[in-house]
Structure 1
Amino acid sequence: MPTISILNGEEVEYVEVYDEPIHKCQFSNEYAYCYIATINPGESCMWHRHSQDSFYVALASCEAINRPTDKPEGELNLKAGDKWWSLYKAKDMVHQVCLPGTCAAPAKFFGVEVLKSPPVYSESPLGGNAYTLLDQFTIDRARIYDMTLQPGQSTGMHTWNFFATVLCLSDGELSTEGADSPFAFLGLRTYGQYKWVEGPVTFSVKNEGSAAYTAVVVEWVRH
């Protein structure tokens, strides 16, 4: 197992994120590697290395401790639904994350690495009143959208001409049309559900419930 020197001079062993047991792989292909990390109160993950640009969403609020090797440890004060990028492609990182035993509930993170450039991609951002392009999270490898459907609202028939990862951020009562709809077969209706989508796919989805439905769409772009 490789070792690395941390800030206090101690040598620690580390693994690749793919081998860290708390980071549980959800799906993997040549374009994406997706995992969910759940850390219980009083628990720490192993020291591990990230080397690919990664998009994250906090699935639970937490006050965790981040321990990088090259700087002092710091608090991660996160709310459920918080989003961020860690751009490890330019500079990899070895770190450890700990959750104090005083925390009332586990920390839970959704992460997806953006790997290979996709064979299907869109030159322009997705339109439609259900989608909001989040410019602050959009990089050269991916566009990030907030997808929101108010009660009774429908996207209408439209096409995703791209590859994407979709993460459901609320429970929802949905109906959908389109043979290849990402929302078919009761998919993406429960908080924390996710799906890898290989476009082009043409579909509509309607919120049949009494509360707003939200999801985040990560669109792979040519890079």
Structure 2
Amino acid sequence: MATIDSGERSALAGVRVTGQTLLMVGFTLVETLALGLWLTLVQSAPVISATSAIGLGVLTSGLVVEHVLTDATVNGVSADALPDRQALAVSVSEALLWVLWLGVADRLGGVDGILFAGGLFAVLLVPQHTVEDNVLRRVGPFDSVVDLGTAGFSVVEAAGATVWLLLAFEGGQFSGLLASLGLGGVDPAALGLAALAVFLLVEHDIGVKLARSG
């Protein structure tokens, strides 16, 4: 009987891990698609415009879904859902960071501008992710504002954003490299978005493990 119970526990654990992995892949795709649609909407629109407002709404909505599913991955689907006001708050603040990142990159222009914006984004994501981690752990959102434990996956997310924007905005400069990798016929912007998805999946995996460790 003990052997059967042990096997059942292992099977249940496997199902749980599989479910959590599927949730993580799911909310990574949601965030990636929201970011891709947002950039498509706003890249040629004035900062103050209906199109930019719609783009911000799309991005914020995608991030709300991502944060709710992250909470389910960390705390379980049957656990209390992430409070709506907190989900909205962290989603709006993260969306505004993406807007700032894009604005800085666009204002400075070129590869150097995108790299600078990426470095700034990495720094600003540390307090953003610290607050999100606090919410996931069910402690006060501002119990800590800068947790260096979040620095690693903040850098990963900023690196993915940088690769994405370099290929989306400066893809022509990397045509030779892409051709040498056998990707010469692939749209650089689409390739950049795919790369972003990979980086975000890694970032989410690190972030979820950190939240569970608490």
Structure 1 and Structure 2 fold alike (TM over 0.5): no
TM-score computed with the length of structure 2 as normaliser: 0.28
Point out the structure with the larger helix share: 2
Point out the structure with the larger strand share: 1
TM-score computed with the length of structure 1 as normaliser: 0.28
